[in-house]
Chains A and B, each alone.
Chain A
Amino acid sequence: SQQGEEDPQALSIQEGENATMNCSYKTSINNLQWYRQNSGRGLVHLILIRSNEREKHSGRLRVTLDTSKKSSSLLITASRAADTASYFCATDAETSGSRLTFGEGTQLTVNP
C-alpha cells in the first residue's frame, strides 16, 4: 500500500519560478528520499534526508522534513524546462526494513 501522499498531483509553472511539492506519510520513518522520473521509466535519486534532519540542500533543491507532522517538502528554485518530470517521495519506514514506500507523485511541468 502507498504510505505517501503528495500534493499537488500536478503543477504547471513558468521557467524561472520556484516549484514546491509536498509529501505526507503515515508511519515513523528512518529517512525520506526524493526521486525524479522522466517519461515513466527509471527513477533518479535526488536527495535523502534523515529523520533527525530538518532541512537539506543540493544545488537548486531544498528539502524540509517535519517528523511531527509527518510531512516533507521539495523546493526547486529557478526552475528550468528540463525540470519537467514526475517527482516522488519515498520513505524507509522503521517497520519495513530498507524497502522504499513511494508516494503517488507530482507531475511538474515547467513551461519555457
Chain B
Amino acid sequence: GAGVSQSPSNKVTEKGKDVELRCDPISGHTALYWYRQSLGQGLEFLIYFQGNSAPDKSGLPSDRFSAERTGGSVSTLTIQRTQQEDSAVYLCASSLISGRGYEQYFGPGTRLTVT
C-alpha cells in the first residue's frame, strides 16, 4: 500500500517568510510524528499526534513552529518568520497506534532551505 507522503520535497524560502509542510500518513494510522534532521543536531523530535488527544508539542523549538492534524489524517507543520537555522530536512512518520513498540514509518522528508 501507499506509504507516508510529504510535500513539497524541496522548499527554498527567504528569511522571514512563512512555510507550510504537508504530511499524508499511511491510511489507518492513528499516530503521526514530526521530526527534524539538521547538520550538527541529528534527528530531533518536534511534535506528535495521537487520535483526538492533545498533541505532544514538547519538541517544538520555538513558538514560530506549529502543527495541526485535520480529521485525524493529514498534518501540516507551519514555520512562521523562518530563520536560517530552520534549514533542515523535516520528516514525518506515522504508526498504527501510539503505543510503545510500534514501528514508525517515515516519509521521504521535505528539505527546507532558508536563504
Shortest Cβ distance from A36 into chain B, in angstroms? 10
Question: Chain B: how many interface residues by the 8 Å CB criterion?
Answer: 29
Give A49's nearest chain B residue, CB to CB: B101
**A100: interface (CB < 8 Å):** yes
Q: Is the CB of A31 within 8 A of B101?
A: yes
In whole angstroms, how far apart are the Cα atoms of A45 and B106 in the complex?
Answer: 8
**B21: interface (CB < 8 Å):** no
Given A45-B104, A92-B101, is A102 in contact with B42 using a C-beta cutoff of 8 Å? yes
Shortest Cβ distance from A30 into chain B, in angstroms? 4
Q: Is the CB of B43 within 8 A of A30?
A: no
Interfacial residues, chain B to chain A (CB-CB below 8 A): 4, 31, 33, 35, 37, 42-45, 48, 50, 56, 59, 89, 91, 93, 95, 98-109
Interfacial residues, chain A to chain B (CB-CB below 8 A): 2, 30-31, 33, 35, 40-45, 48, 50, 88, 90, 92, 97-105
Listed A/B pairs (11) with beta-carbon separation below 8 Å: A35-B106, A42-B107, A42-B108, A43-B106, A44-B106, A90-B43, A100-B35, A100-B104, A101-B45, A103-B42, A105-B42
